[in-house]
Amino acid sequence: MIKDYEIDSEKIADFFLSKSALTPKKIQKLVYYAYSWFIAINNENADNLDNILFDEIPEAWLHGPVFPSLYSKFKSYNWQEVPKIDKKIEFENKDVMSFLNDIWDKFGIYSADELEYMTHQELPWINARKKITADEPNQKISLKDIFNYYNDL
């Protein structure tokens, strides 16, 4: 599978929102799992991570991985659901469509809180949060950590 340059975090979020209304936290976690699993599946080693779903790197925030652009887009919803999108979101690359549907089938069944709990048990988020208190700046999550952790699964 090759990177599709029409894709960004917001288009992936819209894809999941075309399935269901979702809270901003659940959107963040679904996009994070899509991003992470794409890296693990589509690269051969942690030293050559050329295949990524989109260019934005997630940060390790207190409530789990966050893409700042998505936070900005959905912050006005707070803890309320973002409405379902009524149009079908498609990608030129059909492998990407199939992949995202697999992510939805695997992770869409969990609540936002369950997904947050899951990411808090995983090394990429844990490693990025080391030695950070709640009031310090958020750290980017290492792509190498993402590849190594999810590829081992």
CA–CA gap between residue 112 and residue 23 (Å, rounded): 7
34-38, 79-83, 120-124, 131-135: segment of lowest average pLDDT:
131-135
Contact of 39 with 150, CB cutoff 8 Å = yes
Show the 3-state SS of 43-97.
CCCCCCCCCCCCCCCCEEECCEEECHHHHHHHHHHCCCCECCCCCCCCCCCHHHH
Percent of the chain's residues with pLDDT above 70: 95
pTM over 0.85: yes
Separation CA 25–CA 32 (nearest Å): 11
pLDDT of residue 90: 86
Mean pLDDT of the chain: 93
Gap between the Cα atoms of 91 and 7, Å rounded: 8
